[in-house]
Amino acid sequence: AENRTDNTQITAGAVPVITVNGYPGLRQQWGIVTEVISGTQLRISPGLYDDYADLAVDVHIASAQLNGVGIEYFTLNGLHGSMYKGIDMQQCVDSWVQNVAVRGSANFGIAIAYSVFCEIRKCDIRDRQGFGSNGGGFIPGASSACLFEDNIIKGFFPNIEVNSSASGNVFAYNFCYFPVSFNNGGIDILSNHSAHNHYNLYEGNVGKMLMSDGYFGSASEDTLFRNWLTGTGA
């Protein structure tokens, strides 16, 4: 890749990777090494989402790893305390959260990062204490090949916020909404707040809006398919 003084990094296929802070290497993908073919060749899963044959590719090893762990069927209630974040998944493989309710966190509901082949299904995340930045109902970032399906997220800002080169994930049939007290404000799905998210699918989600705000940089190759985005208030 070519690092430029205007903070733009050009990658394979002339797709610009832009960061307001000038950070390199923001087009990333997470996976599992299934075979070491040679000192410079690896077989990985999932396979690369794009052709990077003309680029030098760096491989970074996770510092820890949690495999095959599930969290199911309970409620986290922070309405009478100061719960900063309901669930925080990091460096997980083949793990899941299902039928979990998160109520009244001060900032975030469920977050996942540096993970691959994980699922979050049928969760109910709502009623954040307070309002403002540094708060989101569902915060997926820096993860690949994950499925986020059939969840309800209410009253966070935003309800779903995708960050940090999340790639190859599916966001399907999630329901997002805001209480009347938001006065028609709020964002249901923020598909790109921290660069560079790519190759994510948004299908069948319900809410009033989806935004790629580019606040910290770029995104590319995402797909929106059959969502119901009303463009209205609460």
Q: Produce one character per residue of 98-108: b if its CB has 16 or more CB atoms within 10 Å, e if not.
A: bebbbbbbebb
Q: Which of 111, 102, 107 is nearest to 75 (CA)?
A: 102
Omega before residue 196 within 30° of 0, cis: yes
pTM reported for the whole predicted model: 0.90
Q: What is the DSSP string of 123-185?
A: -EEE--SS-SSS-EEEEEES-BS-EEES-EEES-SSSEEEETT-BS-EEES-EEE--GGGTT-
Look-up of token digits 């290497």: 25
Look-up of token digits 């410079």: 40
Give pLDDT, residue 9.
47
Cβ neighbours around 15 below 10 Å, total: 15
Yes or no: say if 143 and 114 are a contact pair by the CB < 8 Å rule.
yes
Half-sphere exposure of 127 (CA within 13 A, CB side): 10
Give pLDDT, residue 185.
65
| CA 10 – CA 161 distance, rounded (Å) | 25
Name which of 37-41, 54-58, 79-83 the model is least confident about: 54-58
**pLDDT > 90 in the chain, percent:** 67
Give pLDDT, residue 58.
87
pLDDT tens digits, 15-35: 888 888 888 888 999 999 999
